């Protein structure tokens, strides 16, 4: 699996409030990613059943504080 990123400098182009929001969203996305990886690893070590494996992952993410925040309408 290959990931590619593009660096786009925002210096001087955004307000401080916009920068703060972007930093916050990046931190929350990183926390959500780490939570998902942790849940996957824990489920992998505890069970090998495919159906139970994915049910465990989904239920773990639904109860996550970050996931609830990002899914707010």
Read off the DSSP letter of residue 14.
S
pLDDT digits (tens, 9 = 90+) for 8-21: 777 777 888 988 99
Is 24 inside a domain boundary? yes
The total number of structural domains that make up the chain: 1
Is 5 inside a domain boundary? no
pLDDT, position 55 = 65
Q: Determine the average pLDDT of the residues in 54-59.
A: 66
Is 26 inside a domain boundary? yes
Q: Containing domain of residue 35, as a range? A: 17-70
The pTM score is: 0.50
Is 38 inside a domain boundary? yes
pLDDT, position 28 = 92
Is 21 inside a domain boundary? yes
Is 25 inside a domain boundary? yes
> Exposure string (b/e) for 4-42, b if CB count within 10 Å is 16 or more?
eeeeeeeeeeeeeeeeeeeeeeeeeeebbeebbeebbee
Is 8 inside a domain boundary? no
């Amino acid at each position: 699996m290959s990931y590619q990123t593009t660096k786009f400098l925002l210096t001087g182009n955004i307000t401080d409030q916009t920068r703060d929001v972007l930093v916050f969203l990046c931190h929350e996305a990183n926390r959500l990613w780490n939570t998902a990886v942790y849940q996957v690893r824990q489920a992998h070590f505890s069970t090998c059943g495919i159906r139970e494996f994915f049910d465990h992952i989904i239920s773990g993410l639904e109860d996550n504080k970050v996931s609830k925040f990002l899914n707010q309408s």
